[in-house]
Amino acid sequence: MTFKPLEFKTISEDELVVRSSTYRRQLSNRRSVRHFSKKSVPLKVIKNVVMTAASAPSGANQQPWTFVVVGDQKLKHQIRTAAEKEEKFFYQQRAPNEWLAKLAPLGTDWRKPFLEDAPFLIIVFKQIYGIQKDLRVKHYYVDESVGIAVGFLLTAIHQTGLVALPHTPSPMGFLSQILKRPANERAYLIIPVGYPKESAKVPVITKKAFEEISDVF
């Protein structure tokens, strides 16, 4: 392992406040969107946001993630069909009433048209172990690492000027079958990416105040 000097530029406290306030406002406008336009998005843009996600820190820098980009319409249809089958069973038979009551105000149900409408799906897989020279390699802090990378990804999508939706059909084993993933990968999240429909609406929600989510000592 070799090291190099850190590239870092110190800025004034006033500038720190300005930058943090600006960034907060920008990210506060991010919303999960379920109504997508079919307008195309350059593949280069998707590659850029994926590589931004891949710059996230990870346990021992093992980078235990795979980002599968799906733009093929037939594949998206297969994924939607399989996801809706699982979601319909979940909503009608598996989901507790308390959870359904929480979802009701958001207007969600088992129907998932966004899985076909969005020009791209980024499907995030976590690598529960690595493979090097046909040998199994233990990965550390997999869920934490992948979760951080997804945060980078959602932020990059928003800052780029697109919208996204973190979607977790339950269960997600069908994704490994449809996308022919290796045995060391498990589906973590489906993220449709694209432009919002002109008629898209989002629920009116509030976020907790600093005092509700933090302690300062």
Task: List pLDDT tens digits, range 136-177.
Answer: 999 999 999 999 999 999 999 999 999 999 998 878 999 999
Q: Report the percentage of the chain scoring pLDDT > 70.
A: 100
pLDDT recorded at residue 156 = 98
The stretch 51-65 carries a mean pLDDT of: 97
Amino acid at 66: T
Average pLDDT over the chain, rounded to an integer: 95
pLDDT recorded at residue 68 = 98
pLDDT recorded at residue 165 = 97
pLDDT recorded at residue 43 = 98
CA 138/CA 125 separation, integer angstroms: 16
Segment 110-138, tens digit of pLDDT: 899 999 999 999 999 999 999 988 899 99
pLDDT recorded at residue 160 = 97
Amino acid at 26: Q
Q: How many other C-beta atoms lie within 10 A of the C-beta of residue 148?
A: 16
15 Cβ partners below 8 Å, 6+ apart? none
CA 77/CA 95 separation, integer angstroms: 25
The domain limits of the chain are 39-195
| Whether residue 103 has pLDDT greater than 90 | no
> Whole-model pTM above 0.85?
yes
CA 44/CA 204 separation, integer angstroms: 33
Burial group, residue 197, by CB count within 10 angstroms (0-12, 13-18, 19+): middle
The stretch 32-58 carries a mean pLDDT of: 97
CA 60/CA 214 separation, integer angstroms: 28
Q: Supply the CATH classification number for the domain 39-195.
A: 3.40.109.10
pLDDT recorded at residue 108 = 83
Segment 70-93, tens digit of pLDDT: 999 999 999 999 999 998 988 888
| Whether residue 107 has pLDDT greater than 80 | no
pLDDT recorded at residue 137 = 94
